[in-house]
Amino acid sequence: MKAVIKSGRVFGVECVELPMPTPKANEVLIQVKSAAICGTDIHYWKWNDSAESFANLYNVKFPFVLGHECAGVVMEVGADVTGIAVGDHVAFETHIYCGTCYQCRTGNAHNCRNLSIYGTSCDGCFAEYATAPASVCFRLPESVSFDEGALFEPGGVAMHAVQRAEVRPGDTVLVFGCGAIGQMVTQIMLASGAGRVIAVDIDDYKVGMATEYGAIAVNSSKVDLGEVVKKYTAERGGVDVIVEVTGAPSVYETMFDYLRTEGTVVTVAHPGRPIELNITKNVNTKGATIRGVFGRRIWDSWYAFAGLVENKKIDLNKVITHRFPLSRCSEAFEQTGKGAGKVLFIPGLE
């Protein structure tokens, strides 16, 4: 079968022929119908400091098959698998949890103490076929396409961010980053009752996409963001909620200036270096609440997100802009930096 692999700590990826994997007793084998490139995959492609940090944290062994956002059809199940059957349409939860630690037993399996990461700690899904533990399979609603299903994993992150934000009807929300997760945060916020969403990026292509979802879209390299925020929140003194989805350290230098007193900040993306933060000014005297997001709540975020997709409250197809076969993997990764929303691998295009 064809698969996209990372062979070492160097720039680039390659498409190779590998044997079809065989599921273990607790695993399923799927035929991958659609798989999406994530920011983590881009870090691995470039092999930068963020890739090195994440790979060391979650025990990468080279070579490995890249990819963790996918949807497909179950072709085979292991001897011990129950609840998932051949023919089911599924997506994979990336956080492979133990199910027995304190975190898992108290409703926080997404932050399992013995966590491993699909597509990092083990082979992933940028391939014609892939295996995964049955415990991380999410059965997709019948009305959801495979391309939409491939976005359930990152969509679950966006859903988790909105859940952590505890947005109230009428709130003004500022979203830093108009990539795929930022776009889905924007859609979910508006579907959840936010009065307005100000979406910020420095990429005109992505800013244009955010406009299509009903956001007040701002290219902060060309427009004074402070004036935009003041225009819409003068009485409140700032936005009610900020969701940070860029991971850019520079965003943190001014981000809290746009937050009202007693507002909430939710951080999603992982900066590549430590961030300096003025606790007295930006947190304590401001009464700010800061909440971090890592992955999706299992399975709460998944079911909430599925409900929005299934009932057409958000449109994932607008987030997808490009599709490639596995054999054009280098071109696909290059496209992510040339103006794109979500870029998919479709093995059936070969």
> Could you write out the DSSP letters of every residue in 76-89?
EE-TT--S--TT-E
Q: Are 241 and 260 in contact (CB under 8 A)?
A: no
Residue 142 has φ and ψ, to the nearest 5°, of -60, -30
- Maximal CA-CA distance, the chain: 63
- Looking at residue 49, its pLDDT comes to 87
Sign of CA dihedral 157, 158, 159, 162: positive
From 22, 43, 160, 336, the catalytic residue: 43
- Looking at residue 50, its pLDDT comes to 87
Question: Beta strands 14-17 and 64-65: pairing type?
Answer: unpaired
- Looking at residue 177, its pLDDT comes to 97
The per-residue pLDDT for range 123-160, each reduced to its tens digit, is: 999 999 999 999 999 999 999 999 999 999 999 999 99
| 43 tagged catalytic | yes
Residue 297, helix vs strand vs coil:
coil
Residue type, 23: P
- Looking at residue 255, its pLDDT comes to 97
- Nearest CA to 302 among 198, 108, 159? 159
- Looking at residue 272, its pLDDT comes to 79
Alpha-carbon span 3 to 225, nearest angstrom: 43
Over its length of 350 residues, how does the chain's per-residue pLDDT go in tens digits?
Answer: 999 999 999 999 999 999 999 999 999 999 999 999 999 999 999 999 889 988 999 999 999 999 999 999 999 999 999 999 999 999 999 999 999 999 999 999 999 999 999 999 999 999 999 999 999 999 999 999 999 999 999 999 999 999 999 999 999 999 999 999 999 999 999 999 999 999 999 999 999 999 999 999 999 999 999 999 999 999 999 999 999 999 999 999 999 999 999 999 999 998 878 899 999 999 999 999 999 999 999 999 999 999 999 999 999 999 999 999 999 999 999 999 999 999 999 999 97
What the chain holds in terms of domains, given with CATH numbers, is: 2-151+319-349 (3.90.180.10), 162-292 (3.40.50.720)
Q: Are 210 and 178 in contact (CB under 8 A)?
A: yes
Q: Are 289 and 265 in contact (CB under 8 A)?
A: yes
The per-residue pLDDT for range 158-183, each reduced to its tens digit, is: 999 999 999 999 999 999 999 999 99
Alpha-carbon span 259 to 240, nearest angstrom: 6
**294: exposed, middle or buried (C-beta count within 10 Å: 0-12, 13-18, 19+)?**
middle
**329: exposed, middle or buried (C-beta count within 10 Å: 0-12, 13-18, 19+)?**
buried
Alpha-carbon span 328 to 335, nearest angstrom: 11
| 40 tagged catalytic | yes
From 40, 120, 186, 336, the catalytic residue: 40
Alpha-carbon span 269 to 163, nearest angstrom: 16
